[in-house]
Structure formats: C-alpha cells, structure tokens
Amino acid sequence: METIFAFVIAILVGVGVFMLLSRVIVRVVIGLSFISYGVNLAILTAGGLRQDSPPLLSEPAPYVDPLPQALILTAIVIGFATTALLLTVAIRAYQVAGHDDVAAFGDNLADDPSNPDGNQADSSHPSPDIPDTEAFEPAPGSNEMLLLRARSELRRTFQDTPLGTAQDQTDNQVQKENL
C-alpha cells in the first residue's frame, strides 16, 4: 500500500512542479495545489497506513496516530484559503494586464492608468502616491525659518489689534501689503 501511495505522491508532486514552471498564472496556482496534495499524502503515509487500526486512542487494539490526520485537515483548510487568495490575485492581475502570462507582467501591474506621463513604476520613476521631490522647493534654513515666524507674528499682531483712525487703518494696510 505504501508503494502505491509513493507513486501517487511522486506523480502529484511531479505534475505540480511541471505546472508550477508554466508561464500561465492559473497553472501556477493549480501546480501549487497539486504539490500540497502530494505533501498531504506524504504526511498521511508517514503516519502509517493500516486498514485494521482506527485513529482512536481509547481502543486497546493497535491504533494509527491521529496527529498526521489532524495536520492534514489543517493543511487542507490553509491550502484552500491560499488557493482562493492566489486565484483572486490572478483574476485581478488578468483584469489589469489583459493577459495571464507571468513572464510578460513586468512592471505593467504597478502602472497607474491615470498617470499622464505613462512612466513605469520602478526606482527611477516613483509611483503616484509618493511625491516627486524634484518639483518641491527645498526646506527653508534656520534664518529663513526665523523670518517666516516673524512674519506670522506680525500678521497675528495686525489681525488682533483694533484699528483706530482712518490714518492708522491706511498705515496698517500698507504694512500688511509690505509683508
């Protein structure tokens, strides 16, 4: 029985690796699933294959260890969730790129269709959510910061003080414009 399982495991892992090396993204996902099925069968075979022994520890007769079966059930659930996630990503990649060839994806998936310059997303062209630092002015130095603070204090002073006569209003207006 173990020899049959060894051949089935070898076939599953071999087909999985063959499909994993394919350039089509859905075949890659199916190949990963075949490899996980082969590994699950290998764990089951390593745990022991006896038809006369139940996986119950309460029986006085010989039994099969239930731990590999519990691990396999957990692996099946995790494998299902991973396969669902990978298929979702594959569908989204197909929608964005228009093809399912893994080697042809390149940087096309990271492109922003609303980007007017059409540059690809790589290290020399930052993505649209990262600001382009060349377009901004450099940060002000300490002397410039002192001037900016003084200007803001003067503006606050002129806004908070009540205006007196018409001449005071004219003088204050001229001073505001000079700032």
Quote the pLDDT of residue 144. Answer: 74
Q: Is 99 left (phi over 0), alpha (psi -120 to 50) or beta?
A: beta
HEC profile of 9-28: HHHHHHHHHHHHCCCEHHHH
Q: What is the mean pLDDT of the chain?
A: 75
Quote the pLDDT of residue 155. Answer: 75
- Tell me which of 90 and 144 has the higher pLDDT: 90
Burial environment of residue 38 by CB neighbours within 10 A (0 to 12, 13 to 18, 19 or more): buried
In sequence order, the 6+-apart residues with CB closer than 8 A to the CB of 132 are 126
Domain segments of the chain as ranges: 2-106, 140-161+173-179
Q: pTM, whole model, 2 decimals?
A: 0.55
CA distances from 176 to 77, 99, 159, 170, 179 (A): 70, 62, 10, 10, 5
Quote the pLDDT of residue 111. Answer: 53
Tokens (6 digits) for 8: 């089935």
Query: Which CATH topology does 2-106 take?
Result: Helix Hairpins (1.10.287)
pLDDT over threshold 80, residue 149: no
DSSP 29: H
Structure confidence at residue 130 as a pLDDT band (50, 70, 90): very low
pLDDT over threshold 70, residue 176: no
- Tell me which of 137 and 83 has the higher pLDDT: 83
- Check: CB of residue 46 under 8 Å from CB of residue 38: no
- Tell me which of 116 and 6 has the higher pLDDT: 6
Tokens (6 digits) for 121: 């997303």
In sequence order, the 6+-apart residues with CB closer than 8 A to the CB of 42 are 9
pLDDT over threshold 80, residue 34: yes
Q: How many CA atoms lie within 13 A of 52 on its CB side?
A: 3
| Nearest Cα residue to 49 out of 89, 100, 3, 15 | 3
